[in-house]
Amino acid sequence: MATINIIGSGYSGLSAACFAAKKGNTVHVFEKNASIGGRSRYFKEQEFLFDMGPSWYWMPDVFENFFGQFGKSPSDYYTLVKTDPAFQVFFSGSSPLKVPNELEGIYQLFESIEPGSAQQLKKFMKEGGLKYAIAMDQLIYKPALSWSEYATFNVVKGVFKTHIFKSMSSYVRSFFKDERLIALMEFPVLFLGAMPQQIPALYSLMNYAAFQMGTWYPMGGMYKVVEGMADLAKSLGVEIHTHTEVQKILTAHHKVQELATTRGIYRADATIATGDYHHIEQHLLDEEHRNYKESYWNERTMAPTSLIFYLGTTKKIDKLVHHNLFFDADFKQHAADIYKEPRWPEDPLFYVCAPSKTDPAVAPEGHENLFVLIPLAAGINDTPELRELYFDKIMTRMEKTCGHSIRDSIVVKRSYCVSDFEKDYNAYKGNAYGLANTLMQTAVLKPSMQNKHLKNLFYAGQLTVPGPGVPPALISGQIAAEQTQKYLKKTNQSVINA
């Protein structure tokens, strides 16, 4: 029986652990923090339960597919509900745009804003559906170790239909004219990726996934998904070691032999590293075993990081729904402040999640649980004074939009930014969502899943393929476990002949 060590207990680490254990291996997961879940941890304060990271549960099919491979379904672990509406967007000078959580309602909304746009959206959705199918069937589940993986007739034919060489910005503008509709279609890429001008229109598949499959919420919070995956992993025999930081990857004969951790040395036949790629390479490996030099990382385009406030209020904020986007500022200027000339934005766009609108378990009755997120350039200077300055800016805008005071009802307040990401997750430049999904950082052009010098070291997680986000992290763990299994089989260390 082979032993596989996994560094990190985020979604990709837990996913890799489940797949590796399913193949009959002994699996250990090492997590530096006291609790599992990585960027998707939670904390509780005064009866408020805060998800610390992800809050949008999109692409439910990927979660079904994940649990389905173990004969389970998400409903064995958590209860999903659709948020109602899906989300709302505040623009300056007009009433908020409430986006329904079913397609027919979305068509009607578009038509009410721009005559003819419902028909355009139908065309957009048709192309998006095609892209989604091509991406899922032929692109996303590949290890992306070589272009030859994509050199089949179907993939080559499919790739051109994905508009990979067109920008998201020009693609969206070829369908819609109203600035609010354009912002609505571009927001997923700004929050998770790069300037819409730099993102391939392939990523319109995210709009498709959001509108077609809906926006969901696991009752109890996103951490329920983490708990479900950990329960599954444990039922497969995985041992999870929290409070155990890997300090060095020990090698000999072109292989990883052991992990030196804060709680002792662990031997393994193969290792899957899911902590931030840059940290694993630059801090845990000797120079001659690294895939990339520091200069490579300096040249990467990072997705935005975030300034987050976790707030508990003693009153309800009536104008908010579960997901709220405050787009009452200049979208282009904020994007430029993240990607062109990184600096703290004068007037940022921001996102407010109020899960207490859907879930009574996350705040006391009559209270509100708020998660406020401002996207920022990765690596930006982060000081307590700057955080407070932005807290005031955001509160002033929220209070104006909601029509009443909020600050006077806050009983819980915590902030989280670049230095916390660095300290808690060893995150390169304090990144929140890894690398931007630009064309030059797609598929084979992403940091490789396989270490070139150490045959039994693999990488998973948001800095390698397929990219940032919870569904990609589940897929990344699966692909890394499959690659590891191939290696074990090749070296006759696999107990299962598959």
The residue ranges that bind ligand FAD (CB under 6 A) are: 7-13, 30-33, 38-40, 53-56, 245-246, 274-275, 279, 306, 308, 373, 425-426, 432-433, 461-462, 468-470, 473
- Name 168's Cβ contacts closer than 8 Å, sequence gap at least 6: 186, 189, 196, 197, 199, 200, 201, 203, 204
CB of 40 to ligand FAD, least distance (A): 5
CB of 468 to ligand FAD, least distance (A): 4
CB of 451 to ligand FAD, least distance (A): 16
Q: Is the bond preceding residue 85 a cis peptide, omega within 30 degrees?
A: yes
Q: What is the C-alpha to C-alpha distance for residues 219 and 59, in angstroms, rounded to an integer? A: 17
Considering beta carbons, is residue 159 or 226 the nearer one to ligand FAD? 226
Q: Which DSSP string corresponds to 80-137?
A: EEE-SSSEEEEETTS--EEEPSSHHHHHHHHHHHSTTHHHHHHHHHHHHHHHHHHIII
Considering beta carbons, is residue 322 or 397 the nearer one to ligand FAD? 322
Considering beta carbons, is residue 19 or 433 the nearer one to ligand FAD? 433
Considering beta carbons, is residue 158 or 468 the nearer one to ligand FAD? 468
Query: Residues 437, 193: contact at Cβ < 8 Å?
Result: yes
CB of 270 to ligand FAD, least distance (A): 17
Task: Give the H or E element holding residue 247.
Answer: strand 246-252
Q: What is the C-alpha to C-alpha distance for residues 415 and 206, in angstroms, rounded to an integer? A: 29
CB of 374 to ligand FAD, least distance (A): 11
Considering beta carbons, is residue 58 or 110 the nearer one to ligand FAD? 58
CB of 246 to ligand FAD, least distance (A): 4
Considering beta carbons, is residue 141 or 150 the nearer one to ligand FAD? 141
Considering beta carbons, is residue 110 or 322 the nearer one to ligand FAD? 322
Angle between helices 223-235 and 11-22 (to 10 degrees): 20
Considering beta carbons, is residue 35 or 333 the nearer one to ligand FAD? 35
| Two tokens, residue 360 | 């009574």
**Count of all residues that appear for the chain in the document:** 498
CB of 284 to ligand FAD, least distance (A): 6
CB of 497 to ligand FAD, least distance (A): 29
- Name 379's Cβ contacts closer than 8 Å, sequence gap at least 6: 302, 305, 342, 418, 429, 430
- Burial environment of residue 271 by CB neighbours within 10 A (0 to 12, 13 to 18, 19 or more): buried
Q: What is the C-alpha to C-alpha distance for residues 369 and 301, in angstroms, rounded to an integer? A: 33
Considering beta carbons, is residue 117 or 207 the nearer one to ligand FAD? 207
Considering beta carbons, is residue 242 or 314 the nearer one to ligand FAD? 242
Handedness of CA 376, 281, 456, 10 (dihedral sign): negative
Q: What is the C-alpha to C-alpha distance for residues 122 and 109, in angstroms, rounded to an integer? A: 13
CB of 81 to ligand FAD, least distance (A): 16
Considering beta carbons, is residue 447 or 469 the nearer one to ligand FAD? 469
Q: What is the C-alpha to C-alpha distance for residues 303 and 111, in angstroms, rounded to an integer? A: 33
CB of 387 to ligand FAD, least distance (A): 15
- Provide the β-strand partners of residue 97: 89
Query: Residues 101, 83: contact at Cβ < 8 Å?
Result: yes
CB of 447 to ligand FAD, least distance (A): 12
First to last CA, the chain: 14
Q: What is the C-alpha to C-alpha distance for residues 304 and 263, in angstroms, rounded to an integer? A: 34
Q: Which residue has the tokens 């845990």?
A: 284
CB of 341 to ligand FAD, least distance (A): 23
Considering beta carbons, is residue 39 or 429 the nearer one to ligand FAD? 39
Q: Which DSSP string corresponds to 152-207?
A: SHHHHHHHHHTTTTSBHHHHHHTT--SHHHHHHHHHHHHHHTS-TTTSBGGGHHHH
Considering beta carbons, is residue 40 or 356 the nearer one to ligand FAD? 40
Q: Which of 28, 92, 132 is nearest to 471 (CA)?
A: 132
CB of 431 to ligand FAD, least distance (A): 8
